[in-house]
Copies of this chain bind each other. A is one copy, B any other.
């Protein structure tokens, strides 16, 4: 069994951002020399995620708007009454008692998940025609890490 590990560091300009990393994952597979196996792509933070979806700007904007409604930040006015009702009773996250303001980013991590695992077939990520891999930052503007772990033969 072969294995190969690659770490990527992100420092997004915006607090929330989707960064396409399909090519980085394929590069890790190439370096691993794995023909048949799996690639695990995993954010090393609790306020980020990995999503496999379309590289279409409209859907990314839709998704970030929607995530702010169902996992609302408390550092901005709620998007609407539903977002307000989904905040904790009292209007702020208990998590913020320690000085943080990123409670919503933890819930976004729960929804999106911190990882995806991709099949490798004949040396290529075995994805559908529209599937791209995105690192999803929900509390950026500082250094964050992701690990890509390739195993196989």
A110 & B110 in contact (Cβ 8 Å cutoff): no
Which residues in window 115-133 of A have CB below 8 A to B? 115-119, 121, 126-128, 130-131
Given A85-B80, A94-B58, A119-B5, the answer on whether A114 and B52 have CB atoms closer than 8 Å is yes
Stoichiometry, copies per complex: 3
- Tell me the interface secondary structure of chain A in the complex: mixed
A30 contacts the other chain (Cβ, under 8 Å)? Answer: no
A36 contacts the other chain (Cβ, under 8 Å)? Answer: yes
**Which residues of B have CB within 8 Å of A69?**
85-86
A142 contacts the other chain (Cβ, under 8 Å)? Answer: no
A127 CB contact (under 8 Å) in B44, B97, B113: B44
Please, how many angstroms separate the alpha-carbon atoms of A44 and B119 in the complex?
Answer: 10
Given A59-B95, A86-B69, A145-B128, the answer on whether A110 and B53 have CB atoms closer than 8 Å is yes
A119 & B149 in contact (Cβ 8 Å cutoff): yes
A62 CB contact (under 8 Å) in B3, B56, B95, B115: B95
A5 CB contact (under 8 Å) in B58, B63, B114, B126: B126
A89 contacts the other chain (Cβ, under 8 Å)? Answer: yes
Q: Which residues of A contact B (CB under 8 A)?
A: 1, 3, 5, 36-38, 40, 42-46, 51-54, 56-59, 61-63, 65-66, 69-71, 80-82, 85-86, 88-89, 93-98, 103, 106-107, 109-119, 121, 126-128, 130-131, 145, 147, 149, 151-153
